[in-house]
Every structure is written in C-alpha cells, then in structure tokens.
A = this chain, B = another copy of it.
C-alpha cells in the first residue's frame, strides 16, 4: 500500500497548524494528568455551575424531553424554542431588535468561524478574492488555518499603551493603519480577546461599527467570553448590536465545552447562508447544549449564574494569577497585559533572548504547557516584536497547578535571561 494523496484542503487544514498542536497537547495533558496545563482554553470546572446543569439533565432525563433531545433532527438553524428564548433574553437584557430569524446554532464557535470566514471571504463568483480584516493583532490561534483559500486574513499590528500606575500594558487598535478597500469582506474582533484578555473599549467598537456601516461590510464579534454569557468580562462595557453586526455566543466558557454549542446572531441573509452551509457540512446540530440551557434562558436564571458565579470566579482567578506572576518573577523582566476578561494572562518578556516557541519547548520538558505567542500573530504584513516575546497562559485550571506552573515559568525565564548574560 502506498501513501494516499491528500488534497490542498488537507494541507491547509493540516496537522501542522497551531490549533491542532494546541488541542493535541491539551488532550494528551488532560488524559495523562501529569502535565501542568496552562496551555489550552478549557474552562474551569466550577462545581456550582456543573450542579445547575446536572439538575437540568436529570430533569430532562426523567421525562419525554430526553426522547426528543437524543432522537430528533431539529432544523439546521437550531431548536426553535431555544432560539426564541435566546432572542427574548437578548431583547430584554440589551433592548436589541432581534428575533429568531437573526439566530442560528452551530456545533461550537470554531465551526461558526470556519463558516463565516469562508462565506464572507475567499473567491467570489466574479473571480475576485475577498479577505477578513482583523483590526487588532494578536488574535485567536484557532482562526489562523480556517481559510479555505490561502492568505484570506489581514491583520493590523497593535499600538501598545503602558500604564505607569499599575504596570500593565494594553493593546489598542491603530486606526491610522486601518484602511478598508473593496477586497475586505468583513471585519473581525474577539471581545474579550483571546489570547490577551483585552476588552476593546466602547469607543473602539463604535469606531469599528461606523467603519463597517460606511463600507457596508459585516463586523464579526467573537463574544465567546462576553455578555450576557459567560460574561467573563471585568470592565464596564456595552455590547454592540447594529445591522452590520455578526455576534457569536458560545456555551463553552459557561461550562459546556463538551457539548459544542454556539449561537450566531446577525442579519437574516447571513444567518440563512450560514444555516444552509452548516446543513451541508453537519446535517443538523447536536441538541444537548440547547436543551440544557433553554430553561435557564427562559427563566433568566442564566444571569444569576454568570454574574453571581462565573464572572466572580474568573475575576478572582485573574487577580491571584497576576499576584503569583509578580511574586514569582521578582526582578526578572515580565510585562502583563491588563486582564480585562477571558481566562488567560498574556505575558511579555522584553528582549527575550530565545523565541517564544523555544521557551514553550523548554517549559514542556519541565511539564508546563503554555502557548507561544507567535501563533496569534497570523496575517501580519511584517513580523511584530511581541510575536516572539509573548506567551499565553491559562489560569482556569486548579489553582495549585497554576501557581506551580507560574513558579516554573518564572524560573525558566530567569535562566534564559541569565544564560544570555554569560
């Protein structure tokens, strides 16, 4: 038997992409249980949250709802009752003009972005090529290999603000460099941002929204960590909804990553195209996540869950992680991006004498998993100094793991700087 031919598609969505490496590491680490996992994006297992879903599942399993949940293909857009409940919740919470025709389900946010990017960019029927513009690098590693056409992503490097009062830095959109021409099919940001924990300000979002309206292109907002769920966002900001907005929401960071459930809100024409493509790709969605949350959407218990438990949990975890980093690093150089949301710290080691990829390998040899920063700088016209000086570390796992991992990280970075001086 020879080696079977694998297509361009297979090379593009291939085994050497950052997200595959990340998920393999994460999977192996979680399975083996002997790694200090600060690499992946697995949310914390918060007992109070699991209990809510356990009780919902027990209630479902006790009656005929279970039969429908496991046995019936719902329409490609998702379960009608769940979509109604979500529309009602968003209307009530934010006063948005939104109905079920604005909503569709996909099997997780990753699938939603694969579909959105390739629906809104790549080869057009007139032969032209459109691209997705990310106004602010670094951005989510999982997007980098999702374009079916090569090079459909364009990214703008950040302005870097340093806050002398508390020592954090924060990335800001460099609007002077942001130009939108006819080749741009959509803008895209994550808010809070994976990997940095940045939360774009309301002023930045308003500016992006006006650009999207002016150029009549969608503004995709990856709201995987945002409001109203899971609401892992530590700043007072306003969610955006306009006729040009495509907003993705996910159940993963609420505590249900194993169900693969995301919702996409947007203009009805986009929602229809998305649902049709999702049907060809997936036939129908899995029902379990939708069934688990529907009642929480309907009775608004979701708000209590997110504001009373999920957000405070992660805010405390962020603060303790920052404290541990500062304690462990001492005089060793480290800058921390201001943690405004999500479940990561984004650390910069100024003038690090090795690449972040090399640091990743050295840490992996010491049983500590982080993600090297360069994966998050795809689509840039020129390389950015932060790409090889930064790492993403997750603080969602067991506090002992995080504290021990940070201690080893600090020790290794210190050695790197010291070896360079010799």
Chain A 1-27 near chain B by CB (<8 Å), digits 1 or 0: 111111111110111010110011011
Chain A 119-154 near chain B by CB (<8 Å), digits 1 or 0: 111111100001000000000001001101000000
Q: Is A337 on the interface with B (CB-CB < 8 A)?
A: no
Q: Is A66 on the interface with B (CB-CB < 8 A)?
A: yes
Q: Is A237 on the interface with B (CB-CB < 8 A)?
A: no
Which B residues are CB-close (under 8 A) to A90? none
In the complex, what distance in Å separates the CA atom of A8 from the CA atom of B3?
Answer: 31
In the complex, what distance in Å separates the CA atom of A26 from the CA atom of B74?
Answer: 8
In the complex, what distance in Å separates the CA atom of A308 from the CA atom of B27?
Answer: 37
Whether A76 pairs with B27 at a CB distance below 8 angstroms is: yes
Whether B185 pairs with A5 at a CB distance below 8 angstroms is: yes
Whether A9 pairs with B119 at a CB distance below 8 angstroms is: yes
Q: Is A379 on the interface with B (CB-CB < 8 A)?
A: no
Which B residues are CB-close (under 8 A) to A27? 73-76, 284
Which B residues are CB-close (under 8 A) to A327? none
Chain A 54-73 near chain B by CB (<8 Å), digits 1 or 0: 10011001000011111111
Q: Is A403 on the interface with B (CB-CB < 8 A)?
A: no
Whether A45 pairs with B71 at a CB distance below 8 angstroms is: yes
How close is A136's CB to chain B, nearest CB, in angstroms?
22
Which B residues are CB-close (under 8 A) to A6? 119-120, 273
Whether A73 pairs with B258 at a CB distance below 8 angstroms is: yes
Which B residues are CB-close (under 8 A) to A408? none
Which B residues are CB-close (under 8 A) to A333? none
Q: Is A336 on the interface with B (CB-CB < 8 A)?
A: no
- Say which one of A198-206, A264-272, A366-374, A414-422 lies at the interface with B: A264-272
Whether B257 pairs with A13 at a CB distance below 8 angstroms is: no
> Given known contacts A4-B120, A75-B23, is B185 in contact with A277 (CB within 8 Å)?
no
- Say which one of A105-113, A163-171, A294-302, A345-353 lies at the interface with B: A105-113
Give the number of times this chain occurs in the complex, counting copies.
2
> Given known contacts A61-B54, A66-B57, A72-B30, is B280 in contact with A146 (CB within 8 Å)?
yes
Whether B7 pairs with A119 at a CB distance below 8 angstroms is: yes
Q: Is A283 on the interface with B (CB-CB < 8 A)?
A: yes
In the complex, what distance in Å separates the CA atom of A189 from the CA atom of B208?
Answer: 49
How close is A232's CB to chain B, nearest CB, in angstroms?
15
Whether B256 pairs with A284 at a CB distance below 8 angstroms is: no
Which of B5, B122, B244, B260 is close to A285, meaning CB atoms less than 8 Å apart? B260
How close is A34's CB to chain B, nearest CB, in angstroms?
15
A-B contact pairs, 24 of them (CB 8 A): A4-B216, A4-B218, A8-B125, A9-B123, A10-B118, A20-B279, A23-B76, A23-B284, A24-B75, A31-B75, A42-B72, A58-B58, A70-B257, A70-B258, A74-B258, A107-B260, A108-B282, A111-B281, A114-B280, A257-B284, A258-B286, A260-B282, A286-B289, A288-B288
